[in-house]
Amino acid sequence: MGASLAIALKCFFAILGCLVTGIVIYTIAIDGFSFVITPLMAATTIDSYIHVFLIWSWVVYKEANWITAIPWAVLLVCFRSITICGYILLQFLKLSTQESLQDPIYFVLLQRQKKTETEQWRKYSLLTARILSLALGSLMLGTLIYILVTYGSPFHRDTFTPWMTTTLIDYFVIAVPLSVWVAYKESSWLSAAFWIILIILFGSTIACAYIALQLFSLSSQDPVYLVLFSSNREEKEGIKEPLKRTA
């Protein structure tokens, strides 16, 4: 089951990355770089970059140091969903055969090199993560309310330019890794489907709310990265720290 899942996810993110790359190239070919900043595009772009920041937070955890994390940040800002698909695919390709068989999503989420953390650092990092998730969710909610109050419904026929369509596709592709993570986190398909539908419909407002709920379920002594992993695994295996990687 684990090996099949790993292969399926590798193929899925490879195809998804190639698809969105092709769409961007096609949009440039037919429309150049003539961006028209409509309220809908502005809201979608802000939403996308909040998602990107959430995923980059995981990239920072995954990478050994800031020297490797910063270039990924630049690529994420410039190419968003293309970079996300490429980075996730790269993490799956790095898995050993045993890791793929055992639990591929767990080991993709897991940090490759263990970093030491003091108890004080754990406390402040968890507090910072909670504040950031609430702040980003509130920012997106405020943006949506402002656009609705100021411009009314942003969904007008003339707003769907080629770049607007591409931006929406990019947004939905960015939501895919978060949806896969939610499906991994949740104990039942019903609860996973509920959260995934809300994230797709309401974007980073719900994504940040979901992450905040997971963060507030941790105790102040827990490292913040435990939010990444399924609580079912901890209960089933009796672990509070991620498993070590195999050599």
For 154, list phi and psi in degrees, rounded to 5. Answer: -80, -5
User: Taking the model in full, what pTM does it have?
Assistant: 0.88
- Please state which of the ranges 6-10, 85-89, 117-121, 137-141 shows the lowest mean pLDDT: 117-121
Q: How many domains in the chain?
A: 1
What range does the domain containing 149 cover? 38-80+127-237
Residue 122 belongs to a domain: no
Q: Burial of 224 by CB count in 10 Å (0-12 exposed, 13-18 middle, 19+ buried)?
A: buried
Q: How far is CA 217 from CA 161, 210, 214, 227, 230, in A?
A: 42, 11, 5, 9, 12
Question: What does the pLDDT look like over 3-50, one tens digit per residue?
Answer: 899 999 999 999 999 999 999 999 999 988 877 788 888 899 999 999
Percentage of the residues of the chain whose pLDDT score is greater than 70: 86
Residue 11 belongs to a domain: no
Residue 132 belongs to a domain: yes
- The mean pLDDT of 128-146, rounded to a whole number, is 95
Q: Of 69, 101, 113, whose CA–CA distance to 87 is shortest?
A: 69
33 alpha carbon, distance to own chain's centre: 27
Residue 29 belongs to a domain: no
- The mean pLDDT of 87-111, rounded to a whole number, is 94
Residue 115 belongs to a domain: no
Question: What does the pLDDT look like over 182-211, one tens digit per residue?
Answer: 999 998 999 999 999 999 999 999 999 999
Residue 23 belongs to a domain: no
Residue 118 belongs to a domain: no
Q: Of 55, 63, 45, 109, whose CA–CA distance to 84 is shortest?
A: 55
Tell me what pLDDT residue 147 has: 86
Q: Is the pLDDT of residue 238 over 80?
A: no
Axis crossing angle, helix 204-216 with helix 39-62, rounded to the nearest 10: 30
For 238, list phi and psi in degrees, rounded to 5. Answer: 70, 40
Residues 6 or more apart whose CB falls under 8 angstroms from that of 55 comprise 76, 84, 174, 177, 178
